[in-house]
Amino acid sequence: MKTMKIIFALSLAMILFAFNSNNANADNKTNGIIRYQVIIHVDPNLKLTDQMLVFMSDENGRYIDHPQLYVKGATVYNFSEKGPKTAIRIASVSMLDGNELFVVPDVQKGTFEGGQVYKFTVYVGSPDPTGTAGIVQ
């Protein structure tokens, strides 16, 4: 009789643990964190005297996560937000002093799912060699 109670208690604990694990995975997928990876390509002939900001924004210009200061030599910048979202996301760079700079932003439209990483590529100082960045798809 005592053995049956122990087996019953262990079985119940395993069922509850499995249920909670499945719910946690579902929450990560539906309400998880969307990650954006922005890859910056700077023309090597460009003489940058001022600092730049790397940012991710929505179609209205509102920042997604905090803008990040460009660091010479660093090519990858990470941003995140809670998801899922069906929206337009724009990765770009701007000069801190407001000076003009030739930038080909990367614009993507669609449903961004939690738990996924979405890559954006931004070209600074020279046109995109593939001619595909900056086009809403």
Two tokens at 70?
């460009």
- In the chain, the amino acid numbered 106 is D
The answer to whether 91 and 103 are in contact (CB under 8 A) is no
Radius of gyration, alpha carbons of the chain: 22
Residue-wise pLDDT tens digits, 43-71:
888 877 668 999 999 999 999 999 999 99
The full set of domain ranges for the chain reads 1-31, 32-124
Of residues 120, 100, 114, 137, the one with CA closest to residue 27:
114
Q: Is the pLDDT of residue 6 over 80?
A: no
Fold type of domain 32-124 = Immunoglobulin-like (2.60.40)
Single pTM value for the model:
0.69
> Which pLDDT score is estimated for 7?
56
